[in-house]
Amino acid sequence: MELRIVANPDGFELEFGETTVLRHTQLCPAVAMAVGNPCVEMYRGNFQIEDEPSCPIAPTAWRKCDGGLELLGAGKPVARIVVSGNAFTVQALDSSFDRLWVRLYAEAGETVWGGGEQMSYLTLNGRAFPMWTSEPGVGRDKASELTQLMDETAKAGGDYWNTNYPQPTFLTSRWLAVHLDETCYSVLDFRDSAHHEVEVWANSARFELFVDSHPRGLVSQLSSRFGRQPELPEWATGGAIIGIKSGASSFDRIEDFINAGAAVSGLWCEDWAGVRETSFGRRLFWDWQHGERSKARYPDLPRRIADLNARGIRFLAYANPYLAVDGDLFEEVRTAGHFCLRQNSDEVYLVDFGEFDCGVLDFTREETRAWFAERILGQEMLDIGIAGWMADFGEYLPTDLQLSDGSDPMEAHNQWPVLWAEVNAQALASRDRTGDALFFMRAGFSGVQKHCPLLWAGDQCVDFTRHDGIGTVITAALSAGLVGNAFSHSDCGGYTSMHGHVRTAELLQRWCEMAAFAPVMRTHEGNRPDDNLQYDSTPELLTCFARWSRVHARLAPYVRTLCSEAVAIGLPAQRPLFLHYPDDPALFAVQDQFMYGSDLLVAPVIEEGAQHRQVVLPGNVSWNHVWTGEQYAPGRYEISAPLGYPPVFYRLDSPYADLFADLRREFE
């Protein structure tokens, strides 16, 4: 199937098969352009981006030319649209014009999804979404007191569109997908229902198109385009990964989880390389090596790891692509030329990460990528028995530094998480550990799917708030899954605790109820572990977590089929309802419940104090309530949901019906 240009009395259209992609008329030109005048400021990963474009042109006249058409201004060509296969490229002919606005055709009532990993909204209609990887912010709701306070004190409140993982790809209910194949700053703008507008900060913009008769086929195509992840390791889906960062005592505390009957597959100690205390809370010491600092905090670590391995429990750690100026590795890396530099200088560019400065590894250098993969991830981590890690950050590339390959940081910024993922994947491959060892990331952009086996949803607040609380991890998994990320999970219990916001026992219980129905179940002690409840803080919380970890483990045979399905056809484990029931538009905006594969429907309780919630059961086959065994016809219901009993249903015709029914044993 190829794009074709169709002329009409008032302009032209781009058609992809039977699908209209772009419509140009005298009253609504398809392309506009201007000269940009940007102002970009970064403070600790939070960006303020503004622009004052000048010399705007919106050409209306056009004529065909070889390979496509030309847009005319004052009778002269000012832009060209080149068509090839399933893609078209818009280019301003004057190189000084570095802003493009491309208006794509929209049908009345058309629903739009995508944009990478979105936290606040599954459907994008009525809003604009800048595509720029950054810190997502704390609170992410300009009307909330916490967001306002974070904006005032740290420029870190964020908004609904801020995300660690943007991707300029969107899908519509015509089962059309559009991908902007550029890494520059862009904006997906769906505020006008008459068209879908894409703003591109470049002189040229290439768009790729995909169509299908069904949304599952569309998602499968996108997963092929961006690259599919390997199956998750069996150990990662067969029990919970317990996050503890209390030094050597972490090994003692995990025994409490095991003795409580928890199904434990891993111990994750992100503090393995050391810690530092800051006003934000307990941070890690960013010097990724098993050196003196690590040995003091975790004596005899390789032996302790081997002892866990002998019991079927993996040890996981932490790394990110920055190194602290006061760490032991900094001088070695500076001397070897692995850091990004200040513009027109040989000085290392330092970034303030919150009361400590770091150098940024220059991953545009092949030598630097190879060095980090071998020297850090290989020798310091994999070779001492570490079986996985949080590959954190990747969003902080400043736009005013010097890169080794001479590329523009404004173009490289969004690509940085992809390069970071590639480094991690390279380390696994060097030890033949792909599909066995496991790293997980929060940052991303187009193409990260090929390298990163598992996402996590970033740093949620420890609460039930609409835009930064427990419910956002569902939206994150569903939106990321639509653009080719099969596996996602979250920090069970949340992460960010600021200005008196601390975890409650209810939040911890509701979170592990939800996390049991993700392919990986992992806890996190948060940024202020001493101020917050942990799952081993009380016998009641420990019992609760142990039970849900066993539910997670019991589901492993089913989850393995989802892993195989992801590899074969690219479908995510956690899915929006419309992916299986596309004929019901009422399901298009549902983002507070999800399909876990095709046979389980999960409706987590994400409102504080709720004892029941509304659940929609789609399709034309009856559903069984997992915990009560009661049978329900398709429809909408108000379902009882006391603590410990989140609404979960399975299809009666599922080949895994007996497995799902067996989950009730954990509640008898």
Categorize the per-residue pLDDT at 282 as very low, low, confident or very high, splitting at 50, 70 and 90.
confident
What pLDDT does 287 receive?
98
Is the whole-model pTM more than 0.95? yes
Residue 412 belongs to what H/E stretch? helix 409-412
Q: What are phi and psi of 575, to 5 degrees?
A: -135, 140
Closest to 658 (Cα-Cα) out of 565, 575, 555? 555
Buried b (16+ CB within 10 A) or exposed e, 522-531: bbbbbbbbee
Give the pLDDT score at 667: 79
CA atoms within 13 A on the CB side of 529: 20
What tens digit of pLDDT does each residue of 283-340 get?
Answer: 999 999 999 999 999 999 999 999 999 999 999 999 999 999 999 999 999 999 999 9
Q: How far apart are CA 533 and CA 508, in angstroms?
A: 8
pLDDT score, position 157? 97
Q: Are 573 and 600 in contact (CB under 8 A)?
A: no
- The Cα–Cα gap between 22 and 26 comes to 14
Decide if 86 contacts 16 (C-beta within 8 A).
yes
Q: What are the E-state strand segments in 46-98?
A: 46-51, 54-57, 61-65, 68-73, 76-84, 87-92
Secondary element (H or E) of residue 637: strand 635-640
What's the full length of the chain, in residues? 668
CA distance 411 to 184: 5
Tell me how crowded residue 508 is: count the other CB atoms within 10 A of its CB.
25
**Three-state secondary-structure class, residue 483:** coil
Cα(206)–Cα(468) distance, rounded to whole angstroms?
A: 33
Model pLDDT, residue 626: 98
pLDDT in tens, 341-367: 999 999 999 999 988 999 999 999 999
Amino acid letter, residue 42: M
Q: Catalytic positions, please? A: 392, 395, 459
Find the mean pLDDT for residues 89-94: 98
Q: Identify which of 167, 169, 182 has the alpha carbon closest to the alpha carbon of residue 98.
A: 182
Q: What is the mean pLDDT of residues 265-277?
A: 97
Quick one: pLDDT at residue 281? 82
Collapse the DSSP code of 253 into the 3-class scheme (helix H, G, I; strand E, B; otherwise coil) and give the result: helix
What would the pLDDT profile of 615-642 be if each residue is shown by its tens digit? 999 999 999 999 999 999 999 999 999 9
User: Is pLDDT above 80 for 86?
Assistant: yes
Spatial strand order in the sheet of 648-651: 574-575, 594-596, 600-602, 648-651, 623-625, 631-632
Q: Has residue 56 got a pLDDT over 90?
A: yes
Region 407-428: what's the mean pLDDT?
Answer: 98
pLDDT at 111: 98
| 340 burial type by CB count under 10 A (0-12 exposed, 13-18 middle, 19+ buried) | buried
In this predicted structure, what is the pLDDT of residue 1?
84
Residue with tokens 């996602």: 488
CA–CA separation, 164 and 443 (whole Å): 5
Distance CA 457, CA 480 (A): 10
Antiparallel, parallel or unpaired: β 488-489 and 455-456: parallel
The position carrying tokens 């692995």 is: 338
Chain centroid offset of residue 523 CA: 18
> What pLDDT sits at residue 29?
98
The tokens describing 109, both together, are 């009532």
Mean pLDDT of the region 95-103:
98
- Answer for the pair 14, 4: CB distance below 8 angstroms, yes or no: yes
Residue 444 pLDDT = 98
CB of 174 closer than 8 Å to CB of 19: yes
pLDDT (0 to 100) of residue 668: 75
d(CA 550, CA 646): 15
Helix (H) or strand (E) holding 616: strand 612-617
**CA max distance for the chain:** 80
Write a three-state SS string for 164-202: CCEEEEEEECCCEEEEECCCCCEEEECCCCCEEEEEECC
Angle CA 397–403–407, to nearest 5 = 95
Q: Which residues pair with 318 in a beta bridge?
A: 390
Distances (CA, A) of 171 to 213, 440, 668: 13, 25, 44
Which percentage of the chain shows pLDDT scores above 70?
100
Label residue 499 exposed, middle or buried (CB < 10 Å: 0-12, 13-18, 19+): exposed
pLDDT classification of 598: cutoffs 50, 70, 90 = very high
For residues 508 and 30, what is the distance between their CA atoms, to the nearest angstrom? Answer: 50
What Å distances lie between residue 532 and 241, 505, 553, CA to CA? 19, 10, 27
| H/E stretch holding 420 | helix 416-430
Is residue 650 within 8 Å of residue 626, measured between CB atoms? yes
Question: What does the pLDDT read at residue 296?
Answer: 97
Distances in Å between the alpha carbon of 59 and those of 33, 77, 82, 203, 532? Answer: 9, 9, 16, 15, 59
- Give the whole-angstrom CA distance, residue 488 versus residue 454: 6
Computed over every residue of the chain, the mean pLDDT equals: 97
Determine how many CB atoms are found less than 10 A away from the CB of residue 43: 12
Over residues 11-18, the mean pLDDT reads 97
What six digits make up the tokens of 350? 């330092």
pLDDT value, residue 280: 83
**From the centroid of its chain, how far is CA 491?**
13
Is residue 665 very low, low, confident or very high in pLDDT (cuts 50, 70, 90)? confident
- Exposure string for 435-471, b = 16+ CB within 10 A, e = fewer: bbbbbbbbbbbbbbbbbbbbbbbbbbbbbbbbbbbbb
295 CB contacts (<8 Å, ≥6 apart)? Answer: 301
pLDDT given at position 279:
84
